[in-house]
């Protein structure tokens, strides 16, 4: 299995959320920091409004680690502060909104698309396994050059669009 080496590394290292969040600045671009059975644990910085969407067959957990996040549902809004989480049940339309920058841990099935049934400029179209290695195993060098990325295919731009 191609991911076995990475998986072993992940199991043997603890994850410090603050450290991980310091390694990236881009918004709405989840970074994989762990794998749990068939789920990814991802960190994301949010500011502003995301697109309203649903995941037909997947529940989705939002845990706020810094700031505040509102998850707008069709008939109500769920306001989350630091250390609070909310699980959006499968099939339920939701729209994350953060007035100021918030830091969030997401737990999703590996196959979950960030924009659900919607496809737009914020849709992540590729898995971030490579970025996972970078953020797990290597100190993030802010503003790393394009040449670094071409030399090492495991390195990817942190500024990818969602």
Nearest-CB residue for Ni ion: 60
> What is the dihedral sign for C-alpha 98, 72, 64, 32?
negative
Please report how many Cα atoms fall inside a 13 Å half-sphere around the Cα of residue 130, on the Cβ side: 10
Q: Whose Cβ is closer to Ni ion: residue 21's or residue 28's?
A: 28
Q: Tell me, by CB under 5 A, how many residues bind Ni ion.
A: 1
Half-sphere exposure of 14 (CA within 13 A, CB side): 4
Pick the closer one to Ni ion by CB: 87 or 137: 87
- Min dist CB 97 to Ni ion, Å, is 13
Residues 131-160 that bind Ni ion (CB under 5 A): none
d(CA 8, CA 88): 30
Shortest distance in whole angstroms from residue 7 CB to Ni ion: 25
What is the crossing angle of helices 129-137 and 4-12, to 10°? Answer: 40
Indicate the residue among 60 and 128 with the shorter CB distance to Ni ion.
Answer: 60
By beta-carbon proximity to Ni ion, the closer residue of 93 and 154 is 93
**Taking CB under 5 A as the criterion, which residues in 68-107 touch Ni ion?**
none
User: For residues 34-63, which are near Ni ion according to CB under 5 A?
Assistant: 60
* Residue 23 Cβ vs Ni ion, minimum distance, rounded to whole Å: 23
Which lies closer to Ni ion via its Cβ, residue 79 or residue 123? 123
Residue 158 and residue 146: Cα distance in Å, rounded?
Answer: 11
Helix (H) or strand (E) holding 31: strand 31-36
Binding site for Ni ion (CB under 5 A): 60
């Amino acid at each position: 299995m191609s991911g076995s080496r990475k998986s072993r590394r992940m199991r043997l290292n603890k994850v410090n959320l603050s450290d991980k969040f310091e390694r990236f600045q881009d918004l709405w671009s989840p970074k994989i920091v762990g794998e749990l059975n068939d789920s990814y644990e991802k960190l994301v910085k949010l500011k502003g409004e995301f697109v309203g969407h649903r995941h037909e067959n997947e529940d989705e957990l939002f845990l706020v680690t810094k700031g505040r996040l509102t998850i707008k549902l069709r008939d109500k809004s769920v306001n989350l502060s630091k250390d609070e989480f909310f699980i959006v049940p499968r099939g339920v339309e939701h729209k994350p909104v953060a007035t100021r920058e918030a830091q969030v841990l997401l737990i999703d099935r590996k196959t979950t698309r960030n924009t659900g049934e919607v496809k737009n400029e914020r849709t992540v179209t590729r898995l971030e396994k490579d970025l996972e290695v970078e953020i797990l195993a290597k100190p993030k060098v802010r503003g790393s050059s394009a040449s670094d990325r071409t030399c090492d295919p495991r390195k990817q731009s942190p500024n990818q669009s969602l």
